[in-house]
Amino acid sequence: MTEKNIQIRLKNRPDSTPSVEDFEIFQDEMPVAGDGEILCRSLYLSLDPYMRGQISGRHISGAIPPGEVMRGETISEVVTSNNENFKAGDLVAHQGGWQSWSVAQAADLTPVDRRIKPLSLALGVLGMPGLTAYAGMTYLADLKEGDKLVVSAASGAVGSMVGQIARIMGCEVYGIAGSDEKCRWLVEKAGFAGCVNYKTQDLIAGLKECCPEGIDVYFDNVGGDTLEAAMWQLALGARVVLCGLMAQYNTDVMPPGPNPATIIKARATVRGLVVYDFFDKKQEFLDRIIPWVDGGRIAYREDVTEGLENAPAAFVRLMKGKNFGKTIIRFS
Ligand X SMILES: NC(=O)c1ccc[n+]([C@@H]2O[C@H](COP(=O)([O-])OP(=O)(O)OC[C@H]3O[C@@H](n4cnc5c(N)ncnc54)[C@H](OP(=O)(O)O)[C@@H]3O)[C@@H](O)[C@H]2O)c1
Residues in contact with ligand X by the rule CB under 6 A = 48-50, 129, 132, 153, 155-159, 177-179, 182, 221-222, 243-247, 264
Neighbours of 134 (CB within 10 A): 15
Which residues, listed in sequence order, are joined to residue 219 by a DSSP beta bridge?
A: 151, 241
Which CB atom, from 97 or from 178, has the smaller least distance to ligand X?
178
- Give the nearest distance from C-beta 49 to ligand X in angstroms: 4
- Give the nearest distance from C-beta 127 to ligand X in angstroms: 10
Which CB atom, from 72 or from 156, has the smaller least distance to ligand X?
156
- Maximum pairwise Cα distance, the chain: 100
Which CB atom, from 38 or from 245, has the smaller least distance to ligand X?
245
Which CB atom, from 97 or from 260, has the smaller least distance to ligand X?
260
- Give the nearest distance from C-beta 145 to ligand X in angstroms: 25
Q: State the pairing for strand pair 194-197/172-177.
A: parallel
Residue 9 sits at the vertex; the CA angle it makes with 12 and 30, to the nearest 5 degrees, is: 160
Which CB atom, from 38 or from 229, has the smaller least distance to ligand X?
229
CA distance 291 to 42: 68
Which CB atom, from 155 or from 233, has the smaller least distance to ligand X?
155
- Give the nearest distance from C-beta 115 to ligand X in angstroms: 22
Chain position whose Cβ is nearest to ligand X: 156
Closest CA to 234 of 218, 257, 258: 218
**Contact between 302 and 328 (Cβ < 8 Å):** yes
- Give the nearest distance from C-beta 158 to ligand X in angstroms: 3
Which CB atom, from 49 or from 96, has the smaller least distance to ligand X?
49
- Give the nearest distance from C-beta 43 to ligand X in angstroms: 19
CA distance 67 to 53: 16
- Give the nearest distance from C-beta 108 to ligand X in angstroms: 19
- In the chain, the DSSP E strands lie at 5-10, 23-28, 37-45, 74-81, 91-94, 101-105, 110-111, 148-152, 172-177, 194-197, 215-220, 234-242, 302-306, 326-330
- Give the nearest distance from C-beta 297 to ligand X in angstroms: 41
DSSP secondary structure, 268-326, as one string:
-------GGGGGGGHHHHHHHHHHHHHTT-S---EEEEESGGGHHHHHHHHHTT---SE
Which CB atom, from 70 or from 153, has the smaller least distance to ligand X?
153
Neighbours of 36 (CB within 10 A): 13
Which CB atom, from 222 or from 314, has the smaller least distance to ligand X?
222
Q: What's the sign of the alpha-carbon dihedral 287, 289, 290, 291?
A: positive
- Give the nearest distance from C-beta 244 to ligand X in angstroms: 2
Neighbours of 97 (CB within 10 A): 21
**Contact between 246 and 153 (Cβ < 8 Å):** yes
